[in-house]
Amino acid sequence: MEVYPSASGSDNVSVIRLEDVSKDYGTGGSKVRAVDSVSLEIQKGDFLTVMGPSGSGKTTLLNLIGCLDKPTGGHIFIEDSEISSMTDDELAYLRNARIGFIFQTFNLIPRMSVLKNILLPTRFSPHKKKEREEKALALVKKLGLEGKEARTPNELSGGERQRVALARALMNDPDIILADEPTGNVDSSMEKQIMEILSDLNKKGQTIVVITHSDAVSKYGKHIIHMLDGKIVHEGGA
């Protein structure tokens, strides 16, 4: 079993560890192995970028890391907790408290306004409503969404929806941010802005994992892996 250790974890502490992880979809002759015997260690404070062609298993890997899916085989640990041993409620709490997601398809709630979508992860927060709203509005301003707080997602461009998804991911100050093509729907200027925000968060200690097809985006990472046919085929520093 090959293990690809993170190159630049700030505290040399593993926050995510995959041991010989595989994920199959379908059964019998229609079974597809989306992730194939991957072992990976991501240290606290790392900035990992994951590259590879469409269908290489990148998004499946991200979903496994983010506890959105369970592996067919192998073991996944968030720090010392193995996710396969957790209940659905424990996994939901872990995702909400520790992990911020930026989905390629945004996953915004169509009937909710921009502001309510951003506030969604804080519904169980102990902080007062006014404090939560002030933080959400600060993110709205930072990401150039002022004036669109009351709009619904279908009234926004793809780039604006992406920025709403980013703001939502940042609301709970998560330890881990998982981003699936976070700049796929924005222009080069906004791409740079989004990646600099993620880079600044990483410098403050947050662990970042980004899936990308962009060489420019991958250079923000400290550590890069390349996937093909569900396997890690190359890894190295940025």
Q: What is the pLDDT of residues 67-122, one digit of tens each?
A: 999 899 999 999 888 988 889 889 988 888 889 998 888 899 999 999 999 999 88
Q: What is the pLDDT of residue 12?
A: 66
Smallest CA-to-CA distance from 40 within 59, 22, 67 is with 22
Q: Is residue 90 part of a domain?
A: yes
Q: Is residue 9 part of a domain?
A: no
Smallest CA-to-CA distance from 233 within 50, 13, 108 is with 50
Reduced to 3 states (helix: H, G, I; strand: E, B; else coil), residue 117 is helix
Domain count for the chain:
1
Q: Is residue 6 part of a domain?
A: no
Q: Is residue 85 part of a domain?
A: yes
Name the residue range of residue 160's domain.
14-26+33-233
Q: Is residue 72 part of a domain?
A: yes
| Gap between the Cα atoms of 207 and 9, Å rounded | 9
Q: Is residue 168 part of a domain?
A: yes
Q: Is residue 165 part of a domain?
A: yes
Q: What is the pLDDT of residues 20-68, one digit of tens each?
A: 999 999 887 788 999 999 999 999 999 999 999 999 999 999 999 999 9
Domain at 48, CATH number: 3.40.50.300
Q: Is residue 78 part of a domain?
A: yes
| DSSP per position, 123-142 | TT-SS-HHHHHHHHHHHHHH
